[in-house]
Structure 1
Amino acid sequence: MLLDVQGRQAYCYTGGKAFDAALPTAVFIHGAQNDHSVWALQTRYFAHHGFGVLAVDLPGHGRSEGEPLATVEGMADWLLALLDAAGVQRAFLVGHSMGSLVALETAGRAPQRVAALCMVGTAYPMKVSGALLDASLHEEHRAIDMVNIWSHSGMAQKPSSPGPGFFVMSGSRRLMERISRRNPAKVFHADFSACNAYSNGESAAQAVQAPALLLLGKSDMMTPPKAAMGLGKLLAHCTVTQLDDCGHALMAEQPDGVLDALYGFCKANMAAA
């Protein structure tokens, strides 16, 4: 589905069903150098089990027009504008990595519009090493390799790989390379810089009124679980769930575990929609 957001076309995947704003709406927000496709399993399930789904491509990513936005605050403003364009007054926000910060900032800015907040593979502050920032600007393929290695708990993901011949790490690498090919702007560097600079997390967390879920990978080297615990103390109604045998790429390594946690949490808070 294409929407006009701030004068540009924005793409949202709707889970294989036509979007219905009358249903409870679940909004999925991807991380750095990714797009809506990282949520393929979760979004299709939500869309066929009682939710309207909007899995966004942030500006400059995937099929959405424009340059990558420079700040998490700017992405939150964009997301609120997208909800307006879609006719959604209240939503369940699900964000991974950078997307979790966007969801947090959005929930802090407009708490009345958020039924529940799910932050997957999150941390605050979400600082990025100088070496990775530099590589994302000058040696993007090296940055892709670095992130891909650090985001997975091992070279082979079992039993989450759907079948013989499917290589989780290669799929992640190809997605990041496709983002680079589609947009000549330094998307990876813009995303990492936005994460690194974001400093409003504590204030945003204190303003959140909705129930919150922190969904973390026990073997996450990019955003270690301990780096999210400060947020857990600031969020008024917070549940923390950690998945075994899982790094930062939770949706790839433990797709069923992520789906069960997200759907169960959102379904339990359906009355807030």
Structure 2
Amino acid sequence: MREPVQLSLTTRGAGAPLLLLHGLYGSGGNLNRFTRRFAADYRVLTPDLRNHGRSPHRPGMDYPALAADVEALLDREGVERVAVLGHSMGGKVAMTLALTRPRRVAAVVAADIAPVAYRHEHATVIAALQRVDVAGAASRREVDAALAAEITSPAVRQFLLTNLVPAAGGGYQWRIPLQLLAEAVPDIQGFPDLAGTYDGPALFLYGTASDYFDPVRHRDAAAGYFPAAEFEALEGAGHWLHAEQPEAFAAAVERFLARTYPAR
């Protein structure tokens, strides 16, 4: 059993604890607007998962390891039971935590992700990042231009560029460990074969324009692990539904939590 990583953490607010988990290539900072909003009612914990943000870089990114990191964080913060909201990879961490440590989880929100294996081209994205000479780049715009040939979406490039930071000797560097992420792609895209179910409240919130959650193909997989699962669609939203429709996303989460996990 690998030693858990001590995750970097931002906390805000008071009351019942609520844990927010970001997706691949992200960090807790990507969820700042929701940390602030939910902190009006909850004690919101927003960590950087391992190999992301300010958290340590370590090999091994299967979901049981990521869930163990989160459990160690809860122990460190004195949190016995928590509601967990996770987007994409963070949603899989949330589901794994609930399935392996159900007594620690009061409710789950999985944002645009199902407990299944995917075949999205993350290896291609990581390889594109590795090919850019960021150390010799004079500006972020130069790095963006170099990525444009392989990553055509400006929004996706801007999201990835949140990981580009100035290097001490000039130029830039990636704050995420690209080689470790490349090695972990099969685990990140997969989902562990876990025994048992989580019988508590669970919401699967998805975008109708996303290819990550199909309400026909993925509903049975979700309900198999989460028999009390509820499903809600955000019309017209893609995979980054929380960034594309932040108000509708936050309102859906708040409605669910008000019924299943009251703040006070």
Scaled by the length of structure 1, the TM-score of the pair is: 0.77
Give the aligned partner of residue 105 of structure 2: 114
Shift of 1:77: 1.1
The match for 2:63 is 72
Structural RMSD (CA): 2.9
| Partner AA of 1:214 in structure 2 | F
Match of 1:47 among 16, 22, 39: 39
* 1:14 maps to amino acid: T
Unaligned runs of 5+ in 1: 1-5, 150-154, 156-167
Which secondary structure does the structure 1 equivalent of 2:7 belong to?
A: strand
Asked if the contact 1:30–1:96 (Cα under 8 Å) also holds between the matched residues in 2, the reply is: yes
| 1:82 and 2:73 aligned | yes
Distance 1:124 1:184 in 2: 25
The match for 2:219 is 229
Note if 1:11 corresponds to 2:8: yes
Match of 2:117, SS state, is coil
**d(CA) in 1 for partners of 2:88, 2:151:** 12
Residue 186 of structure 2 is matched in structure 1 by 193
Structure index of larger Rg: 2
Q: 2:124 aligns with which of 125, 135, 147?
A: 135
- Supply the AA of the counterpart residue of 2:188: C
Give yes or no for contact 1:94–1:100 (8 Å, CA) kept in 2. Answer: yes
Residue 197 of structure 1, CA deviation: 3.4
CA shift at 1:207, angstroms? 1.9
Identity of aligned residues (%): 25
- 1:214 and 2:204 are equivalent in the alignment: yes
Q: Secondary structure at the residue paired with 1:263?
A: helix
Contact 1:100 1:118 in 2 (8 A): yes
Q: Deviations over 1:152-186 (max 9, x none)?
A: xxx8xxxxxxxxxxxx5554232254597113442
Written as runs of structure 1 = structure 2, the 5 A alignment for 1:251-266 is 251-266=242-257
- Give the match's secondary structure for 1:139: helix
2:22 corresponds to 1:30: yes
Q: Distance in 2 between matches of 1:147 and 1:211?
A: 37
* Contact 2:63 2:188 (C-alpha < 8 Å) held by counterparts: yes
Tell me, yes or no, if the aligned pair for 2:22 and 2:90 is still in contact at 8 Å: yes
Separation of aligned partners in 2, 1:185 and 1:66: 10
Moved more, 32-41 or 61-70: 61-70
> Is the partner of 1:207 in helix, strand or coil?
coil
Letter in 2 for 1:40: N
Counterpart of 1:218, as a letter, is T
SS at match of 1:220: coil
Give the corresponding residue for 1:173. 160
CA–CA separation in structure 1 for the residues paired with 2:66 and 2:218: 21
- Whole-angstrom distance in 2 between the partners of 1:220 and 1:60: 26
SS in 2 for 1:64: coil
Report the secondary structure of 1:10's partner residue. Answer: coil
8 Å Cα contact 1:123/1:227 also seen in 2: no
Q: Report deviation, 1:272.
A: 9.8
Contact kept, 8 Å, 1:126 with 1:223, in 2: the verdict is no
TM-score, structure 2 as length reference: 0.79
